[in-house]
Amino acid sequence: MNEISDKEILDQFFNGDKNKSFSLLLKKYQERLYWHIRKIVISHENTDDVLQNTFLKVWKYLYNFKQESSLYTWLYRVATNEALAYIKKNKPEYHLPISDNESEFKNKLADDNFFTGDEIALKLQTAINTLPEKQKLIFNMKYFDEMKYSEISEILETSVGALKASYHIAVKKIEEFLKND
């Protein structure tokens, strides 16, 4: 079966069966958005909550989607904003001092049944977690999601030049962290 296009999903939503189109949208994007959110909020349970909130918001506001950007980037923007709002709301949990944060993060990730990474993956995730929030987002979108700077620019509403600079700084910080670990 060929994957349905975003245009077909939107045509179905605006001119046909809204429930069917939303089901197709879920099928196409649920896993990708899950992993995008997971890199931001870390735990599986929190990711599920944020993902559910993301799709509730998408359902509520899809009528207002003007198609000025691609559906893909709009969904990522909604997911990113929901994840950041979740972190802001739960700030004490996410903003411990770096030394506390590192051990807390390692414990959470090591105890997570859904994390299947080895020691190197754990070190990389720990290094990424030490980055400021925006650098972490940019690094994850570029490195793991293999997104183009132009796509990230649309999602984060930031210039491509600023993204390139932030990514470069994030890479240097991660390299330094791994070298000193």
In 10 A of CB 123, how many CB atoms? 16
My answer on whether 171 and 128 are in the same domain is yes
Structural domain total, the chain: 2
Mean pLDDT along residues 29-47 = 91
What is the Cα gyration radius of the chain? 17
My answer on whether 1 and 77 are in the same domain is yes
For residue 101, what pLDDT is reported?
45
For the four alpha carbons of 8, 2, 52 and 33, in that order, the dihedral sign comes to: negative
Q: 76, 95, 114 — which closes off a domain? A: 95
My answer on whether 82 and 104 are in the same domain is no
Contacts with 54 (C-beta within 8 Å, 6 or more apart), sequence order: 33, 37, 75, 78, 79, 82
My answer on whether 11 and 45 are in the same domain is yes
Q: DSSP 3-state assignment of 110?
A: helix
My answer on whether 75 and 37 are in the same domain is yes
My answer on whether 122 and 165 are in the same domain is yes
pLDDT at 43 > cutoff 90: no
Q: What percent of the chain has pLDDT over 90?
A: 56
Domain span at residue 133 reads 97-181
For residue 85, what pLDDT is reported?
92
Mean pLDDT along residues 45-53 = 95
Q: What is the pLDDT of residues 122-170, one digit of tens each?
A: 788 888 888 998 999 999 999 988 999 999 999 999 999 999 999 999 9
My answer on whether 127 and 161 are in the same domain is yes
Q: 41, 60, 95 — which closes off a domain? A: 95
pLDDT at 102 > cutoff 60: no
For residue 116, what pLDDT is reported?
53
| pTM exceeds cut of 0.75 | yes
Paired tokens of 78: 């909604």
My answer on whether 91 and 107 are in the same domain is no
Q: What is the pLDDT of residues 107-117, one digit of tens each?
A: 555 555 554 55
Question: Where residue 118 sits, what CATH number does that domain have?
Answer: 1.10.10.10
My answer on whether 178 and 105 are in the same domain is yes
